[in-house]
Amino acid sequence: MLTSKITTTARIAVLISLAGLLFTLTLENWLNEPLSISRWLIQIIPLSLFLPSLRGNNLRAYQWLCFVILLYFFTGVLTAFTPGKLIAGIVLTFFCTLLFCAAVVYIHQQQKAKSTKAQTL
């Protein structure tokens, strides 16, 4: 029972933090002086490709999302050290960290549930 609550909470946290990350990237691009649609698409499309798989509870998609999110984490840290963009970098880094941790918890709980189910059979 507790495992299913943790799994559900982790999955919701992944989806909320992904939405927050997409919103942060959109807002950051919109507030930049030269508005660049191509840069926005390059930032948004890789994350958007994971949305259908995340809705379908595909563990492999969660694992790949953890790898891809590291690139956005690096971007957030670099943005935080850019003069005048400290808050944008911190928010981006926060959502990346939250997304990564929630995805790892979700993957761990799902694999634990699978191994428990296999042992009972």
Q: Please give the C-alpha separations between residue 100 and each of 13, 46, 104, in angstroms, as whole numbers.
A: 10, 15, 6
The pLDDT > 90 percentage for the chain reads 66
pLDDT at site 2 = 60
Give the three-class secondary structure for 121: coil
Helix, strand, or coil (residue 84): coil
Q: Which residue has the tokens 């999302």?
A: 65
Q: What are 61-73's pLDDT values in tens digits? A: 999 999 999 999 9
pLDDT tens digits, residue range 26-63? 999 888 878 888 999 999 999 999 999 888 778 999 99
Structure-token pair, residue 105: 């918890």
Counting the structural domains of the chain, the total is: 1
Phi and psi, residue 63, nearest 5°: -65, -45
Which residue range(s) make up the domain with 87?
A: 2-114
- Return the residue matching tokens 């927050």: 20
Residue 120: inside a domain, yes or no?
Answer: no
Residue 119 lies in a domain: no
Q: Do the domain assignments include residue 66?
A: yes
